[in-house]
């Protein structure tokens, strides 16, 4: 009586997110590695909140000797604790993990050099943080939050002009009004330009203090 041994199966996992690789790019990389499209589990949501139903389904599908393949670690887990849980799950099933872009294959080398491991974990931590930040910005924009510098109103411009003409330096104005020096310099330059045009068109002369450099 012959017992037919089951061949090792490669299961791919790709996840939508705000990282460098899109879901489609991950799928293409996994297919180039030799994984059938039917064996690629596709998470079409970021999953940064910890909810990844497709990943759970993929892990349940793994059997003894199978290999889970991802492009990068941050596509697989959203934290070190999450990664540790996945590692324990794989070990219980006697399954392996392959991370294509970061050179990890636990089926070949279960004891990775500590320096290589530290580098990979640092990359993992940074990529998760960046993705969380991008997700946060996207949610904020969807809720109407606007990013960028707050525009300087005409009243503030007049206040800067008055302070500058009274002998206060750009540095002093910057501290008092909580406005960057570069912004103040641009406003001074703009007002100088407008003043010069008015003087030229009206054939007048002036000794405006705005033309003096009081940068300190």
Q: Of 30, 27, 120, 38, which Cα lies nearest the Cα of 69?
A: 30
- Cα–Cα distance between 40 and 26 in angstroms, integer? 10
- On whether the CB atoms of residues 196 and 152 are closer than 8 A, the answer is no
pLDDT of res. 62: 95
Instruction: Please state the φ and ψ torsions of residue 25, each to the nearest 5 degrees.
Output: -65, -40
Share of the chain above pLDDT 70, in %: 63
The verdict on domain 10-142 having CATH code 3.30.70.250 is no
Q: For residue 102, what are the contacts with CB-CB under 8 A and spacing of at least 6?
A: 72, 73, 120, 123
Mean pLDDT over the full length of the chain: 77
Cα end-to-end distance, the chain, whole Å: 93
pTM: 0.56
> Is pLDDT above 90 for 179?
no
- Cα–Cα distance between 52 and 45 in angstroms, integer? 8
- On whether the CB atoms of residues 55 and 41 are closer than 8 A, the answer is yes
* pLDDT per position as a tens digit, 44-100: 887 666 688 999 999 999 999 999 999 988 888 877 788 888 988 998 999 999 999
Is the pLDDT higher at 19 or at 183?
183
Q: For residue 138, what are the contacts with CB-CB under 8 A and spacing of at least 6?
A: 18
pLDDT of res. 197: 47
> Is pLDDT above 60 for 140?
yes
Question: Which of 57-66, 156-165, 198-207 is the least confident region?
Answer: 198-207
Most confident option among 1-10, 58-67, 69-78, 141-150: 58-67
Tokens of 132: 């969380």
pLDDT of res. 199: 46
């Amino acid at each position: 009586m012959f017992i037919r041994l089951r061949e090792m199966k490669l299961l791919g996992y790709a996840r939508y997110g705000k990282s460098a690789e899109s879901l489609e790019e991950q799928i293409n990389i996994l297919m180039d590695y030799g994984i059938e499209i039917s064996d690629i589990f596709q998470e079409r949501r970021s999953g940064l909140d910890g909810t990844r139903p497709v990943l759970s389904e993929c892990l349940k599908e793994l059997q003894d000797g199978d290999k889970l393949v991802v492009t990068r670690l941050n596509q697989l887990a959203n934290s070190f604790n999450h990664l540790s849980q996945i590692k324990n799950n794989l070990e219980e099933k006697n399954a392996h993990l392959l991370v294509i872009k970061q050179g990890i294959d636990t089926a070949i080398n279960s004891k990775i050099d500590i320096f290589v491991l530290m580098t990979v974990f640092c990359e993992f931590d940074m990529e998760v943080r960046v993705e969380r930040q991008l997700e946060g910005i996207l949610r904020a924009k969807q809720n109407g939050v606007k990013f960028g510098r707050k525009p300087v109103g005409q009243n503030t411009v007049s206040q800067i002009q008055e302070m500058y003409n009274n002998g206060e330096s750009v540095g002093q104005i910057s501290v008092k009004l909580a406005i960057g020096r570069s912004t103040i310099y641009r406003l001074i330059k703009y007002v100088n330009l407008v003043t010069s045009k008015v003087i030229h068109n009206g054939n007048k002369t002036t000794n405006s203090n705005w033309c003096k450099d009081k940068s300190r």
